[in-house]
Amino acid sequence: MSNTNNTQDSQSSQKSQDSQNSRSSNDQETARKRPSPMEVLRQARGQLAELTGMEAESVSSFEQTEEGWALEVEVLELERVPDTMSLMASYQVELDSDGQLTGYRRVRRYERGRSDARRSGGR
């Protein structure tokens, strides 16, 4: 009977070890598949350009969210001479955790040479 118990203990131990190895392997695969922040930025700029036909000039904000990533991307919408009169736009861009664009919207349009108006409250 003790031989049977030893065999069961051994099998149980092996299953536990296999389960831990499987979880560790899955965690490593997930970590490898998750894009780095720089990859997310590149993907966001490329996908937005493909959808809008306008090249992103810069990314003014970038943060990880529960759903994935949120960015604010500055885009040249209308080139004018002199350059300070060109029309720029800020787009809010949302990506899933894999870096795939899930939505975007224009949140602001402004002339390149203009700064934001002062907000009340000292901001």
Q: Tell me the sheet residues that pair with 76.
A: 88
- Helix intervals (H) in the chain: 2-33, 37-52
Tokens representing residue 6 in the block:
């030893």
Torsion of CA 19, 24, 30, 31, to 10 degrees: 170
**Residue 35, preceding bond cis, omega within 30 degrees?**
no
Q: How many helices (H) and strands (E) does the chain have?
A: 2, 4
* Verdict on whether the full-model pTM lies above 0.85: no
Please tell me the predicted confidence (pLDDT) of residue 24: 55
Q: How far is CA 80 from the centre of its chain?
A: 32
Residue 122 CA to chain centroid, in angstroms?
Answer: 31
Asked if residue 109 has pLDDT above 70, the reply is yes
- Model confidence at 94, in pLDDT bands (50, 70, 90)? very high
- In this prediction, residue 123 carries a pLDDT of 44
- Specify the range with the lowest mean pLDDT, choosing from 19-23, 50-54, 65-69, 99-103: 19-23
